[in-house]
Amino acid sequence: MAIALVLVLVVIGSVLFHVLSPWWWTPIASNWGYIDSTLVATFWITGAVFSAVVLFMAYCVYRFRHKEGQKAAYEPESKKLESWLTAITAIGVAAMLAPGLYVWKQFVTVPKDATEVEVVAQQWQWSFRLPGADGKLGTSNARLVSSDNPLGINPDDPNGKDDVVVEAADLHLPIDKPVKMLLRSIDVLHDFYVPEFRAKMDMVPGMVTYFWFTPTRTGTFEVLCAELCGTGHGFMRGIVMVDTAQDYTTWLQQQSTFAQLSGPAKVGVLVDRGKVTASME
Amino acid sequence: MVDVTPHGADLIPPAEVGEMELYHPHSWWTKYVFAQDAKVIAIQYSGTALAIGLVALVLSWLMRLQLGFPGTFDFITPEAYYQFMTMHGMIMVIYLLTALFLGGFGNYLIPLMVGARDMVFPYVNMLSYWIYLLAVLVLVASFFAPGGPTGAGWTLYPPQAILSGTPGGTGPGIILMLVSLILFIIGFTMGGLNYVVTVLQARTRGMTLMRLPLTVWGIFTATVMALLAFPALFVACVMMLFDRAIGSSFFMPAIVEMGEQSPHNGGSPIMFQHLFWFFGHPEVYIVALPAFGIVSDLISTHARKNIFGYRMMVWAIVGIGALSFVVWAHHMYVSGMHPYFGFFFATTTLIIAVPTAIKVYNWVLTLWRGDIHLTIPMLFALAFIVTFVNGGLTGLFLGNVVVDVPLSDTMFVVAHFHMVMGVAPILVVFGAIYHWYPKISGRMLNEFMGRFHFWVTFIGAYLIFFPMHYVGLVGVPRRYPELGDTAFIPPSVHTLNEFITVAALTVGFAQLVFLFNLFWSIRHGKKAGDNPWRATTLEWQTAGTPPPHGNFGKELPVVYRWAYDYSVPGAPEDFIAQNDPRPSTQGGHA
């Protein structure tokens, strides 16, 4: 008998926990409200099914528990009942799948006006690269990674010269502008994960992966690594700041380009400085 | 029309099954150690699986201590945490659940339930166990190797699995892990071929496929699946072993390891994931299908009612088994594979919910108008349905590709798979042990300890894993030894983590009571007799309990009816054994 009561309590407890507990997702900061809606719809459908099945079990256990002289019914199958249940289940499943696939179509269709932003992961830090005035990122290759060129940007690619490099520092993004995050790793698998953006994607060495979103709320958001990447995995953090257009421009102007950071440019500056020093002497 | 009718006395086919030449042991060693009797092998498999499972249980306590009270235990460094986590997962999935369901229950129940004297290849069956034991010993050895066992996660994703940033990555840890898996698969293949051939070729007279108990259907289908799925893991392990040991680049692209250019070039880390999950997803059902089958028989026997919709149940098992080979990449929605795969794999994944739901309906409809005896096996079966439905439904979140995106790699996933393929099958394992222990030992397990074990395990496990979904919903990633100071994680999550840890330790303690009961009842349990549950299937109709070598008496039983003739109208008792030749007074349903 206790079991029938416990089954009822499991349902009531689970529903109350869902409604009353303080644990819910973080306030959304991207355009993926559809994902949240699909998730909420899934909660309702699955919650109803769970409650119905467990309460039905509880009733059966209460009603048909063994008593002296009781005999079970003999009913091997019922085609009609089984067909109905199959059909209803199929409809319920389709009701969850259809909106899911519809939103997935949007998720994988990057808008044409999305700005590309590159995230480069390595054990255990995040770096970023933004296209310069030409709007294009230069090519890259893990084989080119060195202490002078930590992101492995191809020095022979003219598109890469004006790329803005943000090494192991915060990334800023302008609000309400769609961004295509190009994801690259130079060592192991990582995953660029900002809970408030809802979207995430693994970063795989040897290839470039991506996802897109539009930041819809200014603020400071923590980046976590969501794919096990070694002992530092739990401590691989970064910051994304979503700015107003004005703040973003200010930040962008303070950043250095690949050409400014890389070897030849440095030499150039030193040579210039050397000349100045020489002339002063 | 498939013959599941109770009036089958006129349908006995001619004697096709010849008597089997058995190896008769000459000494204690060949009887109990290098045994060829499937029942002894079953106990060897189960004992070894439970022993290594105990290690996994202790590892889970250590992980929960760290998660509940981070910073309190100095010896649980991030390295150690990842090693505990990896070994816990690998042991539970492969060395405990797979070995116990197929090697343990498969060996004990298949020959008895189909009416065979033994497995068809007893010598190979013996080898299967010894190679399994060797695999377990190699796994255990990695705990004592320099650098310790691998901490790459049970998924062993390269490149990190074989690099210096991961515990055991450049030491012997990962090599021992891969070798152990390779050995396990070799051993399993020997056993698996046995189970399949025995079910297909060694059934006794009258035991048609559609008269098999669902336990046998579940184990049989799972074994066929395992024989098809494990080779993918096998080649993945061999290829990674080559990458690690002789510098090949199957899974290794050009990378920079801790500032150094690595010699690898051109490999694909995602290819490993495809191979791994081509095995890994069927593996979920390799564990689940035997549980489905066993729980069907537990419910039917203890509710004194035929399983509802037997034929649908068989086809659901076979259908789930087949479909589970085309859903694997739902583990890889955010892996960076081509995003259009998402459409296909989300659709196949949600389709698999339909046969799975049918199974759930038929279990609860079997309870409807039953004569429910709330024995310990029945209690575990009921608890299984609750946790399985719960875990199955959260699978609809994760299978629906776009809902998976925010939830993947969070604690929601950890909660989901523990509920559905941890707690649920393990509850069936317990139910099955309480059910068949009397046949194996001749004694009943102690009732009081059993009920204590049930209540603490069921309620405790639900309290561990139900709230854990919400930790994931907040956004807490899995595989983090501590959460640190993270803005979006409120302090209440830490409190919840402490609660979960306390619940986990309590449930862990109850398992020790269960283990004690297993040993205590061998001597002190109530005498069981041949058929304490008044069940219909052949294993309860043996000449003695425990059944002797060769299982049945001089003559093999002849089967006249399906496995579910409970409470047949007009019959003098509320069950008719499968080998009972009496025609029922009433026709029953088709």
**How many angstroms separate the CA atoms of B527 and B545, rounded?**
10
Q: How confident is the model at residue A133 (pLDDT cuts 50, 70, 90)?
A: confident
Q: Does B59 touch chain A (CB under 8 A)?
A: no
pLDDT at A55: 97
Which residues from B are below 8 Å from A76, CB to CB?
4, 306, 308-310, 564, 588-590
**How many CB atoms are closer than 10 A to CB A237?**
15
**Domains along chain A?**
2-19+27-64+78-108 (no CATH), 115-271 (2.60.40.420)
**Residue A273, pLDDT above cutoff 50:** no
Please identify among residues 348-367 of chain B the ones whose CB lies closer than 8 Å to any CB of chain A: 350-351, 353-354, 357-358, 360-362, 364-365, 367
Is residue B568 a part of any domain in this protein?
yes
Beta-ladder partners of B575: B566
Is residue B539 a part of any domain in this protein?
yes
Q: How far is A261 from chain B (nearest CA, A)?
A: 18
**How many angstroms separate the CA atoms of B47 and B351, rounded?**
37
Q: How close are the terminal C-alpha atoms of chain A, in Å?
A: 99
Characterize the bridge pairing of strands A190-193 and A237-243.
unpaired
* Preferred mutation among A204, A211, A239 to probe B, highest tally of B CBs within 10 A: A204
Domain span including residue B547: 535-585
Torsion of CA A93, A94, A98, A104, to 10 degrees: 40
**Residue A269, pLDDT above cutoff 70:** no
pLDDT at A9: 96
Q: Running along chain B, 590 residues long, what does each successive block of 10 average in pLDDT?
A: 46 57 80 91 96 96 95 93 97 96 96 94 95 98 95 95 93 96 97 96 93 97 96 97 95 91 93 96 95 97 95 95 95 94 94 94 94 96 97 94 94 96 96 97 96 97 97 95 90 95 96 96 94 95 89 88 92 91 53
A233/B358 CB distance under 8 A: no
A73/B397 CB distance under 8 A: no
Is residue B570 a part of any domain in this protein?
yes
Q: Does B300 touch chain A (CB under 8 A)?
A: no
pLDDT at A274: 42
Q: What angle do CA B482, B487, B490 make, to 5 degrees?
A: 75
Q: How far is A153 from chain B (nearest CA, A)?
A: 14
What chain A residue is nearest to B166 in terms of C-alpha separation? A230
Q: What percent of chain A has pLDDT over 70?
A: 93
B402/A38 CB distance under 8 A: yes
What is the pTM (predicted TM-score) of this model? 0.93
Is residue B81 a part of any domain in this protein?
no
CB contacts < 8 A (A, B): 330
Q: How far is B553 from chain A (nearest CA, A)?
A: 32
Is residue B321 a part of any domain in this protein?
no
Report, in angstroms and rounded to the nearest whole number, the Rg of chain A calculated over CA atoms.
28
B470/A23 CB distance under 8 A: yes
Please report, for residues B475, B476, B483, the alpha-carbon distance to residue A199 in angstroms, rounded to integers and kept in the order given: 12, 14, 20
A189/B371 CB distance under 8 A: no
Of B236, B88, B89, B230, whose CA–CA distance to B162 is shortest? Answer: B236
Please identify among residues 483-502 of chain B the ones whose CB lies closer than 8 Å to any CB of chain A: 483-484, 486-488, 490, 492-493, 496
Is residue B341 a part of any domain in this protein?
no
Is residue B142 a part of any domain in this protein?
no
For residue range A92-128, what is the model confidence (pLDDT) as tens digits?
Answer: 899 889 999 999 999 999 999 999 999 999 999 999 9
State the average pLDDT for chain A.
89
B589/A21 CB distance under 8 A: no
Which residues from B are below 8 Å from A191, CB to CB?
334, 409
pLDDT at B585: 45
A57/B386 CB distance under 8 A: yes
Is residue B581 a part of any domain in this protein?
yes
pLDDT at B11: 54
A76/B374 CB distance under 8 A: no
What chain A residue is nearest to B468 in terms of C-alpha separation? A23
Beta-ladder partners of B383: none
Q: Identify which has the larger pLDDT, A89 or B20.
A: A89
**How many angstroms separate the CA atoms of B188 and B128, rounded?**
6
Task: Answer for the pair B17, B202: CB distance below 8 angstroms, yes or no.
Answer: yes
Looking at the 3D structure of chain B, how many domains does it have?
1
pLDDT at A275: 44
Which residues from B are below 8 Å from A19, CB to CB?
none
**Residue A265, pLDDT above cutoff 50:** no
